[in-house]
């Protein structure tokens, strides 16, 4: 779990990661 600023492709992947995290939280 690295910060978005450290990611090479920040932006679209960022949004998707946030959505994934939200999904995981909603799932749990």
CB 7 within 8 A of CB 13: yes
d(CA 10, CA 16): 10
Confirm if 14 and 4 have CB atoms less than 8 A apart. Answer: yes
pLDDT in tens, 1-28: 566 666 665 566 778 888 888 877 766 5
- Chain length of the chain: 28
Residue 14 burial by Cβ neighbours in a 10 Å radius (0-12, 13-18, 19+)? middle
Q: What is the pLDDT of residue 1?
A: 57
pLDDT given at position 27: 64
pTM over cut 0.75: no
């Amino acid at each position: 779990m690295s910060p978005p600023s450290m990611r090479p492709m920040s932006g679209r992947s960022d949004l998707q990661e946030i959505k994934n995290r939200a999904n995981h939280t909603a799932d749990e």
